[in-house]
Amino acid sequence: MAILPIVIVFMPFPKLSWLQEVLTVFSRRGKTVLQSSSRKFSVPQKYFCHFYVLGVAWTTLLLIGTCLCAFATGPVVAESLYLPSIASQLAGASGQSPLPKLLASTVEHKKGIWNSVFLLLLMETQVLRRLFESLYVFKYSPSARMHIVGYLIGLTFYTAAPLSLCCEHIPEVVKFVVNGYAEFTIKDFVNPLMHLRWYAWIGAACFTWGWIHQRHCHGILGSLRKNGSQDEQYVIPSGDWFNYVSSPHYLAEIIIYGGFVIATGFSDVTILLLFSFVVGNLGLAAKDTHNWYIRKFEDYPKDRTSILPFVY
């Protein structure tokens, strides 16, 4: 339901322009709020760090709980190796046994839990880096603001996003954390991750690609305010993906969450909806930022687009 308004505003219906404007106002942050009438309903942009404090705490809690639950389910590889021989022995002369399907289902279930652990590990690296950047890289202007609705949406997002990466197993994780515990070693942790499906690692590569470029782009933005938070002057950023789009850090964020979608084999509806929300929300914010740059700078590069190179 959260992505429905965003989907609607991208439809070519002039009568829905008012909804696009409302959502754009809510998505405004930083420099784009300075001249906005919504400023009185805003909070300091430095409150962005609240998102990542929440994200780190919540993701860490979910990661620990899911890890303990995964360890308790036992090894993934051992059962898959012995499955054919055990099944053939129990099938006897008839050659038929329900055991292979049962064991295969158990193995797939364990792989699903470990895939959730893998996704949460990726999310943990993301929120930890964003927290570090919000505290030590970005130099927020005292006048930089974001809409209060956008702030509340941000808090909701960083509660829902980590949860969506393991929501299929949450009841099991909660039950285990309440009732049990697990002893494990580093080997117990690494081995199951090494046997994830191939698309999990392609998703991780996509995540890493976006992660690295977002770090570079945030470094560029952080370096623009040379005199610290008291400097109100804005300049045109350049370098890395800034040479192609106005909001490359948003593009990198989309790639990061696209990595989560790939890592699940495009099979998790919750993560697909999460990705759709990220694309819609950042698409609106990027367009608003692009328009601000064009109004602010007469010499703004004509060949830059909002968020997708040469497209949008």
> What is the C-alpha separation between 291 and 22, in angstroms, rounded?
16
How high is the pLDDT of residue 80?
47
Concatenated DSSP letters of 154-199: HHHHHHHHHHHTTGGGHHHHHHHHHH------HHHHHHHHTTS-HH
When comparing pLDDT for 144 and 2, which is higher? 144
What average pLDDT score do residues 216-224 get?
Answer: 92
- What pLDDT is recorded for position 17? 61
Q: Is residue 103 predicted with pLDDT exceeding 50?
A: no
- What pLDDT score was predicted for residue 156? 94
Higher pLDDT, 39 or 103: 39
pLDDT value at 111 more than 90: no
Residue 44 backbone dihedrals phi, psi, to 5 degrees: -60, 140
Does pLDDT of 309 surpass 90? yes
Please state the rounded mean pLDDT for residues 247-268. 96
Q: What is the pLDDT of residues 130-176, one digit of tens each?
A: 999 999 998 887 777 888 888 999 999 999 999 999 998 888 888 77
Looking at this protein, which amino acid is placed at residue 230?
Q
- Looking at residue 231, its pLDDT comes to 55
- Dump the DSSP string for 208-258: HHHHHHHHHHHHHHHHH-TTGGG--------SGGGGTBS-HHHHHHHHHHH
Q: CA nearest 36: which of 50, 22, 20, 49? A: 22
Number of CB atoms found within 10 A of residue 186's CB: 7
pLDDT band at 182 (very low <50, low <70, confident <90, very high): low
Question: DSSP assignment, residue 73?
Answer: T
| pLDDT surpassing 90 at residue 49 | yes
Please say whether the dihedral angle defined by the alpha carbons of residues 120, 6, 297 and 36, taken in this order, is positive or negative.
Answer: negative
**Alpha helical stretches, state H, 73-180:** 77-91, 99-136, 148-164, 170-179
Query: How far apart are the C-alpha atoms of 160 and 164, rounded to whole Å?
Result: 6
pLDDT > 90 fraction of the chain, expressed in percent and rounded: 49
Q: Which of residues 67 and 38 earns the better pLDDT score? A: 67
Letter for the amino acid at 271?
Answer: I
Q: Is 29 exposed, middle or buried (0-12, 13-18, 19+ CB in 10 A)?
A: buried
Q: Looking at the predicted structure, is the pLDDT value of residue 25 above 90?
A: no
Q: For residue 279, what is the enclosing H or E element?
A: helix 269-296
What integer pLDDT is reported at residue 284 of this predicted model?
87
Token pair recorded at residue 91: 């099938």
The mean pLDDT value for 120-133 works out to 97
Scored b (16 or more CB within 10 A) or e, 241-268 reads bbebbbbbbbbbbbbbbbbbbbbbeeeb
Instruction: State the DSSP code for 297.
Output: -
Between CA 102 and CA 29 the distance in angstroms is 52
Cβ pair 62, 162 in contact under 8 A: yes
Q: Calculate mean pLDDT across residues 288-294.
A: 92
Range among 34-48, 134-148, 178-192, 256-270 with highest mean pLDDT value? 256-270
Mean pLDDT of the chain: 81
Please tell me the distance from the alpha carbon of residue 24 to that of residue 9, in angstroms, as a whole number.
Answer: 10
**pLDDT tens digit sequence for 50-100:** 999 999 999 999 999 998 888 877 666 554 444 455 445 555 545 555 545
Sheet of strand 42-44, all strands in order from the earlier edge strand to the far edge: 29-30, 145-147, 42-44
